[in-house]
Amino acid sequence: MVYASPRFVLEEQLRCVAGKEWEAVLGLYADDAVVEQPFARPHELRLEGKEAIKEHFVRTDALPIDIEVRNLVVHESSDPEVIIAECDYRVVAGATSKESVVHNIFVVCVRDGKIAWSRDYHDMTALGDAMA
């Protein structure tokens, strides 16, 4: 069986997040996927399993922001399942139209065409400022 490449899956995930296509995003994750956000505030975030990831996206959808992905740079790793990406989110707060830039790094493992695990490093200070 031929599966989508890690690069394709990561780029699709970013496209769907920016487009708020939550069901499509969720379909990119393995049932037992783990997502970690070590820089989340007020404490580190760890989501285990598709249901926890779905609940996270429901909360994300409620945020009054729009996201545009810019400056995407993808790095291959020595592990063919692991890919690293750098990008910026242009964030526009819906209530105020305030624009901010949020820098991000993603380390993602894609196995059999699905995200098995992801470590997402977001500039949480900039994200908080965008919504202030």
Tokens of 101: 């830039």
Residue 59 lies in a domain: yes
Residue 69 belongs to what domain range? Answer: 6-131
Q: What is the pLDDT of residue 64?
A: 86
Q: What is the pLDDT of residue 98?
A: 86
Q: pLDDT for 87-119, tens place per residue?
A: 999 999 887 888 999 999 999 999 999 999 999
CATH classification at residue 48: 3.10.450.50
Residue 23 lies in a domain: yes
Residue 115 lies in a domain: yes
Give the global pTM.
0.92
Tokens of 64: 């009054």
Count of structural domains, the chain: 1
Helix and strand numbers, DSSP H then E, in the chain: 4, 6
Residue 72 lies in a domain: yes
Q: pLDDT for 12-30, tens place per residue?
A: 999 999 999 999 999 999 9
The three-class DSSP label of residue 66 is: strand
**Contacts with 57 (C-beta within 8 Å, 6 or more apart), sequence order:** 22, 25, 26
Residue 46 lies in a domain: yes
Residue 103 lies in a domain: yes
Residue 1 lies in a domain: no
Distance (Å, rounded) from C-alpha 129 to C-alpha 131? Answer: 5
Q: What is the pLDDT of residue 96?
A: 81
Q: pLDDT for 41-82, tens place per residue?
A: 889 999 999 999 999 999 988 888 899 999 999 999 999 999
Q: What is the pLDDT of residue 102?
A: 94
> Hey, which bits of 1-64 come out as E strands?
29-37, 45-48
